[in-house]
Structure 1
Amino acid sequence: MRPYRQSSVFPTLCREAIYAKNYEIACDINEEVTGKRLTKQTWGIVPKIREMNDFLIATDSAKEKIIEIHPEICFWALAGKPMEYSKKESEGFSERKKLLQEICTSTDEIVQNALSKYRRKDVARDDILDALVASVTAKLSFQRGLKSIPKIPEKDSQGLPMQIVYPTFRRCLE
């Protein structure tokens, strides 16, 4: 049995930090508000977080329709357990792909198409599976619904729900 992996879900940052001019300032702001500094990985996706945040604030009709998932939580929910391998390892890629193949029959075609269409420097292999599990989660939401972390989400100062959603356990889908 492999030793337990480090967390694949990194902490979210506070709203104030997404508007910081640079990583160091964002870390300081986030630490002051949440008690935690940011990872470089988190800072790397801040422009997209900021873009979505601005859109949701400006578009009332989207606030309840666009929901947030985390790929690793979705994989866990669909498998009924955490993934054994890191998504960056070939075993982790295979593990996630196999799980998706059981739910989405066109997984191989989707993955091969994306791998041939995009350069690895633009789209990593594991990002393709992350996008696919998000899509599968959206589809399953219409069939079986979703669960939320936390169970009853609060809303932030902008009226946005503070939650991560995931599909019901796979054994419930069969």
Structure 2
Amino acid sequence: MPDGAGIWVAGVDGCKAGWIAVLRNLDDPADLRLELFPTFADGIAWVPHLDVIAVDMPIGLPDTIGPQGRGPEKAARKHLGMRQSSVFTVPSRAAVYEEDYRRACATAERTSQPPKKVSKQCFYLFPKIREIDALMTPVLEARVYEVHPELAFWRLNGEAEMSLPKKVKSRANPDGLDQRRDLLVSKGLPRAFLDQKPPRGCGRDDLLDAAANSLIAERIFLGEAKPFPEAYRRDERGLRMAIWA
């Protein structure tokens, strides 16, 4: 098989250095790569062509947020038990485009019913959310899908949330990371690949999350993944609002 030929899928996670991606050739399981993309556009343009990109970042931002929220967050949390706090509530598109936290909270309150502010954790994701939002189109969503690592691990773990947290008091929890690594190994990913030192500006958790997302990307390609919620809505730009697993 020529170098790079085959069906390629990617699991992607945002990190301080950009976007860490685990790239898998479904036609040649030994062809497994770790890439660090400075921008999300670099991942979309990667050669060979990526058939599915499963990224841990909200896609689809409504102009207003109702009592049920954007939709995917509530649908995902129902399955995550103790891990549900890892799913942040995403505000309106106007709030996401605010670069000051207080203005973001004010805009989020003005565009939600009941009024709701923005968590600091979600606010720190806004630059990454904006980066994807600027690129996304209904056509591109045939390749790019929103995922969430903890929902991915839930799916891979027989639809049971992971018993150990990934972080404790905002610091990496080695036992929780080892548990996730071992689950990924049981699904066929090489331990040595998962235990490699992440690129500078990426954490071990980022690498493991991208790896889990890559397995969901394969499920999406094979038609085995499901959207949460199943009856998902689209935002005012026609973008799908669903987390896949």
User: Equivalent of 1:96, from 176, 180, 203?
Assistant: 180
User: Equivalent of 2:211, from 114, 132, 136?
Assistant: 132
Residue 39 of structure 1 corresponds to which residue in structure 2? 119
Q: How many residues align?
A: 157
TM-score (ref. length: structure 1): 0.81
CA–CA distance in 1 between the matches of 2:228 and 2:82? Answer: 22
Q: Is the contact made by 1:104 and 1:136 (CA closer than 8 Å) also made in structure 2? A: no
Give the 3-state SS of the residue equivalent to 2:227 in structure 1.
strand
Residue 153 of structure 1 corresponds to which residue in structure 2? 232
Cα distance change on mapping 1:91 and 1:112 into 2, 3 Å? closer
CA–CA distance in 2 between the matches of 1:44 and 1:135? Answer: 24
Residue 82 of structure 1 corresponds to which residue in structure 2? 161
Q: Is the contact made by 2:83 and 2:150 (CA closer than 8 Å) also made in structure 1? A: no
User: Equivalent of 1:141, from 220, 223, 233?
Assistant: 220
CA–CA distance in 2 between the matches of 1:36 and 1:104? Answer: 42
Q: Give unmatched runs, 5+ long, in structure 2.
A: 1-80, 168-172
Residue 69 of structure 1 corresponds to which residue in structure 2? 147
Residue 171 of structure 1 corresponds to which residue in structure 2? none
User: Equivalent of 2:195, from 112, 118, 132?
Assistant: 112
Q: Is the contact made by 2:95 and 2:108 (CA closer than 8 Å) also made in structure 1? A: yes
TM-score (ref. length: structure 2): 0.59
Q: Is the contact made by 1:56 and 1:62 (CA closer than 8 Å) also made in structure 2? A: yes
CA–CA distance in 2 between the matches of 1:95 and 1:164? Answer: 23
Q: Letter of the aligned partner of 2:139 in structure 1?
A: S
Q: Which one has more relative contact order, counting CA pairs under 8 Å at least 6 apart?
A: 2
Q: Which one has the bigger strand percentage? A: 2
Identity of aligned residues (%): 33
Q: Letter of the aligned partner of 2:183 in structure 1?
A: L
CA–CA distance in 1 between the matches of 2:231 and 2:105? Answer: 29
Residue 136 of structure 2 corresponds to which residue in structure 1? 56
Is the aligned partner of 1:12 residue 2:93?
no
Residue 170 of structure 1 corresponds to which residue in structure 2? none
Q: Is the contact made by 1:17 and 1:27 (CA closer than 8 Å) also made in structure 2? A: yes
